[in-house]
Amino acid sequence: MSEQTVKITGPIEPNIHRTPRWENLWYNNTIRTVELKEIEIEYMDGSKETLKGSDIRYGEIPKPAGCYVATAVYGSYDCPQVWTLRRFRDDTLAGTWYGRAFIRAYYAVSPTLVRRFGETGWFQRLWRGPLDRLVDRLRSQGVEDTPYRDRDW
């Protein structure tokens, strides 16, 4: 049993799925169920609302996916920059042996880095510039930044 707190900062548009750092809460792929006990919503006008029990509607729990550093830097796994990087990973890197080797090495190291340093300003500043440049270059090469669903491997 574990208890975790997740903070999502808005504004959040209706029907937009945002899960910043959600995939970084647990590193155990055997977890199949998450029980939400309480959701506190603070609106931009300062008012608050708390949802409990049957007021909470459940959806699909995202599977552990990756892009840990980019998610830490951009604040969400589902944002245009991370969609671009995920497409590059799936459509380009995964197509070569050295790309797959890079992906394996990245996923061996990045969860620990993000767990330890992902919320620190220096870590985010360190990676923001290189990631922004890579995303800009990928977009200029035609990699889309529209909503993306990861490939099942």
pLDDT 10s digit of each residue in the chain, 153 long?
566 666 666 555 555 544 444 444 555 555 566 677 777 777 667 777 887 877 776 554 444 456 899 999 998 888 999 999 999 999 999 999 999 999 989 988 998 899 899 989 999 999 999 999 999 999 999 999 999 888 775
What's the pTM?
0.59
- Please name the residue that has the structure tokens 């890079």: 102
Q: Which two tokens stand for residue 51?
A: 């949802």
For β-strands 38-42 and 48-52, DSSP reports them as antiparallel
Give the separation between CA 58 and CA 64, rounded to whole angstroms: 18
- Please name the residue that has the structure tokens 């300003």: 121
Residues 5, 21 contacting (CB under 8 angstroms): no
Q: What letter would DSSP give residue 51?
A: E
